[in-house]
Amino acid sequence: MSIRTIAGDCLIHASGHRERTVRGRVLTIVKPDNTVLVHDVDGYQPVAWLTRPESLSITRDPLWLVASDGAETLRIEAVGDVAVDDHDATAAGTPVGPCRCGGTLVRSGTTVACLDCAERFGLPSGASMTDSTCDCGLPTFLVDRGERFELCLDYACGSLLDAVSDRFDREWDCPNCGGALRVLRRGGLIAGCERYPDCDTGFAIPDETIGGSCGCGLPLFETANGTRCLDSACSSADAA
C-alpha cells in the first residue's frame, strides 16, 4: 500500500456542508482508503478533507483531483509548481517481535502486521502478547476463555476455538433441556446446546477465567467487578 502526497500551490474547492474555496502552498495526503486531507502551515486540523469518498480521480499535467461522496465534493487544482509522490506505507503499532521473514511485527488494536512483508494476523479480544516464540518462529499471545491459553499468532499452529473446545466442549449441561453445551464459533466463542435447533440455548464465553460453580450448574467467571455466571441473566443467589 502507498500514501500519495501532493505538495505545492493549489486551489481547493469543497462543496457540501463544509463549502469553501481556498488557495495556498499546501500538502495534500491521499491515503490508501482514498481519504483526502489538505494541510496548510497553520494548526493541526486540515483546511479541507473528505473521508473515504465513493469516487476519487487524479490526473497529472496539469494536476486535477476530484473526490466525491454523495453531496460532498473536494476538488484540488494546481495553479503553480506541484510535486506528486507515492510513498510505501504500513500499519503503525507497538513492536511485538520478529516476523518469520526477519522483519518487525507491530500490534495495532487486534491486528499484528509485519512492516516488511504481507503477513497479518488477527488477535482475539483481550489478548496480550508474550515474550515467547512458537516453534514456527512467531510470537505467542495469552488469552482468557475459561482458562488462560497461550497460542501462536498463526492459527495454523492451533486456533483458539480448538484450544477452548479441547478443554470445555461438553463440559457443562444446558440449564434448559439438559443437553451438553458445545463450544462453537458464532462471531465470538459460545457454549451452545447440542440439541439446536430444538433448543437454542447459547451463552457467550467471557474473556475471563473460571472461578467456581454457580447454583444453576454453570461456571462462574472471575471479573474485575466480582464473579458472574456464564449465563449473564442468571438470577441464582450463588451468582451474585
Q: Report d(CA 177, CA 188) in Å as an integer.
A: 23
Decide if 111 is inside a domain: yes
Report the pLDDT value the prediction gives residue 239, as an integer from 0 to 100.
41
Q: Is the pLDDT of residue 237 over 60?
A: no
Q: Report d(CA 9, CA 96) in Å as an integer.
A: 41
At residue 238 the predicted structure's pLDDT band, cuts being 50, 70 and 90, is very low
Same domain, 15 and 68: yes
Same domain, 182 and 214: yes
Decide if 146 is inside a domain: yes
Cis geometry, peptide bond prior to residue 62 (ω within 30 degrees of 0): yes
Mean pLDDT to the nearest integer, 28-57: 95
Q: Strand, coil or helix: what is 155?
A: helix
Decide if 163 is inside a domain: no
Over pLDDT 70: what percentage of the chain?
98
Same domain, 66 and 100: no
Decide if 164 is inside a domain: no
Q: Which domain holds residue 50?
A: 2-88
- Write down the H helix ranges in the chain: 160-168
Instruction: Measure Cα distances from 142 to 29, 125, 148, 157, 194 in Å.
Output: 38, 11, 7, 14, 28
Q: The pTM is what?
A: 0.74
Decide if 138 is inside a domain: yes
Picking from 32, 55, 88, the residue at the C-terminal end of a domain is 88
Mean pLDDT to the nearest integer, 71-90: 93
Same domain, 30 and 67: yes
Strand intervals (E) in the chain: 2-15, 20-30, 36-39, 48-50, 55-59, 64-69, 72-88, 94-98, 104-108, 111-114, 120-122, 128-133, 139-145, 147-152, 181-186, 188-193, 202-204, 210-213, 219-223, 226-229
Decide if 40 is inside a domain: yes
Picking from 108, 123, 157, the residue at the C-terminal end of a domain is 157
> Where residue 32 sits, what CATH number does that domain have?
2.70.180.20
Same domain, 129 and 177: no
Picking from 67, 88, 109, the residue at the C-terminal end of a domain is 88
Residue 235: partners with Cβ closer than 8 Å, 6 or more residues away: none
Decide if 196 is inside a domain: yes
> pLDDT for 130-189, tens place per residue?
999 999 999 999 999 999 999 999 999 999 999 999 999 999 999 999 999 999 998 889
Place of cell 512483508: 117
Mean per-residue pLDDT over the chain, rounded: 93
Q: Report d(CA 177, CA 137) in Å as an integer.
A: 46
Q: How many domains, the chain? A: 3
Decide if 162 is inside a domain: no
Same domain, 73 and 129: no
